[in-house]
Each structure stands twice: as structure tokens, then as C-alpha cells.
Structure 1
């Protein structure tokens, strides 16, 4: 203050002006330094990002460096080749083997008297499923008794005229006529027996009818095959007509079943008769059913553009049920050998591309886009992007992708 008091007014003004100018210069100098520091920081960040991607590298070749401890958590191995089976898969449904499914009708119309088996029962061949009261059988048995009576009468007549001829009391023409009548009666009798036999009557039963001179209109309807009753529409009092639905019984041999699948049109040429089939159903996830292709459709559905493929499936334990949802797998060609990487070594990116991580020193890892083909037994077939012998991450590739993503975001 004493210094300012000793100065004139002009000198004081000059000193203040010099102080103001000096302060402004100092502030400008500091601001320039800070601006330079900010530019420098941004340049370092840019340089770090450039190092992350690598100079001259595309986004598909981004890289990550790991410490020895981090790298030890990964599984790394060489790219090798392995065989991939050429497979086709499809879904479909289980159905009865119609070659072993029988609709059991009576041969003649009539009223059902009794049904002996229920739905789900096991039956043997020739077991009687139901009986009917058949007017046709009644008529056939009546004709049999009548023809038997006529034959007996003609036999007696022939014997009598023969004796008269010997005694001179009859002419030869009477004997000849009686012989002709007897032969006609024998033919009618045989035809009547055959008519009754068509209804399923045995010779012993026919002899019983003739001996007792009694007709029985009860017709037995047996099962033509051994199997299981899968449908029953028979009940006492119902009228049944041959071939008129619904059938009184349906019996199926369940040792084999059908699988019906509609395969896509582009896969149709791969399916051939006799190809081995492996079938799975959700009801038995741990079971595999074996079979083979028995029919390949001769046309493509114009609406769905699919082709029917039918397979016959062995089912000795009778586990499959008609209507079950099922999937099948068919080997349609010889196995092919190709480069492969474990499924845990392949990462599906957000844009749908598939990538792997390649390394040469087990510390520096480069992301590379690959094209995959078949996927079997936790292995991915590599069609393009890798060479034999290259070292890749076989387990833990997702970790590297996350490290790269976090580094880029930071």
C-alpha cells in the first residue's frame, strides 16, 4: 500500500493495467494446456481401441489378450477332422400297422347274441369274438336236413325197384330212373353240407345236426389273427351287416406299428425303401425304437409340398400307441469326414454368424467367422473359415466374446 501511495495517479493506472494483462495471459496459457491434455487423452483412448481391434483388422478379426491365469480357465486344442453321419429327421405320428389290422365282420347278416371280449383284451387266432343269430345259417341247416331226407328216400326207392327187377315185377327203366334220382339227391346233399360248412361248422357239428335232426342258427365269429382288441362296437341285440361300418370288432397285431411322416419336398429324393429308422416318442424319452422304411409316397402334396414316408417300427413290448407324436432319424448316406470343433467352441453372434477363437500362443486370441454344417454329438462341422491344425478354443469361447464386448463398451 505504501508503494501505491508514493506513485502518481498515472503510474498507478499503468501498474494496474499491467497486472490485468498479465493475469489474462496466465489464464489463457492454462486453458491451452488443459485443452492439449484433453486431446491427448482422447488420442490414447483411440489408440487403445485400435490396439483392441488391431491395425488393419476387420471386425471379424477382433482380438483379446488374456493373462496366464485367465487363459488357464479355457480349453484349447487343435482343429481336427471327424466323421459326420448323413442324417435326415422328420416328425410324424404312430399308427396301427394296417397290414396287421383286421376288421372282424360276420359273413352273414344277423342279430348279435353275445360279445366275449372287451377293448384292450388279448385274443388268439380262432377265439370266438361274438355270436349272431343268423337266418341264413338257419336256412342252410334246414336245406341240409331236407336234402338228407330226400337222399335217404331215393336210396330206399332204388333198393326197392332193384329187388322188383330181380323178381320180374319191374322194368329196367324204373331202376335207371331211381338210380338217376339217387345221384341227384346225393349231389344236393353234398352241396347242402358245403353250404353249412361255409358258416364255420365242422364235420362233427354237421354230423350232430344230421343225427339229432335239429338246427341251430347261432353263428360263431372267430378272430382271424392273434392280437389285441383295439375297437369294439358289438353289443347284444345289435344288428350287423357284412362290410357295413362300424365293424363289431377290430383286432391288431401290435408287434409292429407304423410311423407316418410328411417330409419336406427338398428332402424327398433322399428317402429309399429299406432304410433303417430310429424313432423316439415323448412318452418314452430314453427309448429308441428300430424300424425301416416300407413306403415312399409317389406324389408331393401340392398344398404343403410334402411327401409321405411310412416306416414299420418294431414294438415287441407293445409300448407304442396309435396317435402318438413321434420323430424319426434316418441315415441316408455314407458318413463324411470334415473339420470339426466342439459345440462349446462355437459362438452364435447377434447377427446370426458363427465365430470361433483362434490362437497361436495361448495368450492372444483372434475372433474368426466360420461356416458350420452338421451338428452331431456336441460337435459342429466346419465348412469354411478354419484350416487343419489351427489351435482354437474348444470350451469357453463365450467368455472371450464377453471380454471383447465389455472391452469395446468400456
Structure 2
């Protein structure tokens, strides 16, 4: 039975067979076949004939007619022999087992001698095999670049200490990796380390300022009563008060110049991608303590070893780890070489959720003159045992044929089959790896 299904998403054929089953008879209802009954009747008749001719042999012998007695004896012996032969054949036929049933062909997937693969329809549904007709298109070929994911320089930052010292955690502890922070959030405090000579100099300076403050305060106490009686101008009192406030501010500035805590805060919004601090750790100036990046703003940096004309590329794509195609937009190309290659940077307008900074990616850049060919998904092309590129064609409802092809890169999800297949042939676009593994 063959059922043809036509749907908007594709066509399919369902092939199956209906085989009637013979019901077994109960043991008490079994009957002996007719040939066995006829054989037994013939044996009984032969035995009776042998007995009859044996009686005639005895009768003619008593009469003295030896010729007739001899003929009766010969006929009796012949019937005895006939009965014995028929009895032996009956036992052999009765004890011979029934011929075994011819086993049916198995529906297990297998590789045939001509290299094709047989896969029954239930197996195809289990492997989720899908096919599509090859259609010709004219499209720009692609050049493959090796790149890696990087953070957007405008949306990422690093946190460093200017003076160095001992790490002091905040009220909520030290931020962990993966934690979301906002611009201006306090991350940690740094207790600066002061040599003994610097501490002595600061203490001496503070002492001088405090001495001047004491002298100014004494003058102010003497002049205030005089200013109240009008003996001294009020402006002198105001000048002394201003001088005293300035001395106090100088003392606080000198005292906290290298003895106060240095607060390190987040420079941008994002998540913490690296944290290299621990409570009580002594750090040096300009050590990178935290790295902050925005996962919604990522770039891709690739190396181009050939001149590929990236001024106006047709399109640029990359493939995510989960198989999703990532659209890229060109940011710029450097005029300086790195490891004999030009540095090319792309922006990711919509980064997928599973993309991480530093992850390697293959970047497909469409450039050059357009070419014509049959465009198929990249998953439709696999490697054969000898290493050449092949596609699997759905030639019959349950048979697949390998076909060597020559492909040209298009983007992260498609390739152009330049030679090997014809327009309209059904190409396996899903489950190709599983069919290729059938042996």
C-alpha cells in the first residue's frame, strides 16, 4: 500500500504492506490427511491378498498340484513385499517435519552493495529525515575568516587601582563573576600602603598645621571681645575666622592624602566577566582587578590573510554554537598587519544568548563576482569515507544515493553546489549525518 501526502511544507510517501495471518487449529480438531488414509487401506488390502494367496498355496500343495502352489506362493510373497514398502513410506512421510517458512526481508537500515542506503519509512521518521528540491540561484560567494568574539570597546571597561594597597571588601562583599552592575556602583575599597618615611612627613605636616591653627585660634579669642566693644575692626575677626577654616581644611587634606581608602567603582553597565581579587590581597598599581562587559553589545574580530575587498561586502554571517545564523555588520578594517593579516572587526546587532566573549567563530563574508548554482543548506553536505564532499539524494521512497559534489561557500547556513547534482533532484537536508553513518 502506498499513500502519497502533499502538504504546504513538503511531500512524503508512506509505504507499508498488509499480510493476512493463518489461524492455528486446536490440537483436538486436527485430522489425518487423505493420502495417509489411502496408504493404510492399500497396506491392509495387500496383507489380505497375501493371506489369500498363502491359503491357496496350502490348498494346491495338498492336492499335489505343485505348479499352482508355486504361483500362489510367489504372489503371496509379492503382496507381502508391497505391504512392507508401503508401510515404510507411510512412516517416513508421517514423521517428516513441515517445511520452514521463508523469512521475510528485514526493515533494518543497511548499506547496499552498490553504495546506496536502504531506510524504511519508520526509520526515516525516527531519524527525522527531510528532503528538499535543489533550486538554482545567483549569489555572491563567501570567503571564510577565522575570528573570535570580543566585547564592544564602548560598552566595556576594566577596573584598576592607581596607588595600590590592600583589598578591603565592601558591605556586600567582593562582587562575583556574572554579577550585574550599574555605572557608579562601589565594587571594593583599597587601603593604601604608606612607607614609614611618608607617614613621618605627613605627621610633621599635620603638626605644623595644627600649631598654626592654635595660634590663629588664640588671636581670634583675644580680638572678639575687643571687636564687640568697637576697639578693633570687625574685619580682623572675620579674617582670622577664614584663616582658621582654611587651616582645618588643609589638615584634613594632608591627613587623608594617602591614608584614606581608595574606592573603586564600575565605569559602565554590564556584567562582571573577570574578578581577580580576594579580601586582604595586596595589589600593585594598575593591576586589572575587574572586567565589565555588556552581553547585549558584542563584536567579532577576524583576521584576513588575502585581499577580499571588505569596503562594501554584500553580507557577513557567522554560525552560533547552537547552529543559529548570526548576522554581522562591518565596523572597519585596520591598515596595520597583525601576524601578516589584516584585522577586520564586525558588530553583532542582535547577539544570541549563548555567545561568550573569546569564543572562536567562522565568519563568512560575501564578496566578489556573483556565481550561479544550486543552493542547499550547509548540513546537506557531508564527508564520505575517502574525504570528498557528498550529498545524499532521495531517489526512491526507501532508498538514498550518495553523490560527490563540488561546493562553494555562501554564508554560515548555505553553500552552492557547483557540480554533481541536477536541478529538481531531492536532496536530504536534515538527518544527512545519520544516513551517512549507516553501514
Q: TM-score range by the shorter chain?
A: 0.3 to 0.5
Question: TM-score if structure 1 supplies the norm length?
Answer: 0.48
Q: Which has the higher helix share?
A: 1
TM-score normalised by length of structure 2? 0.45
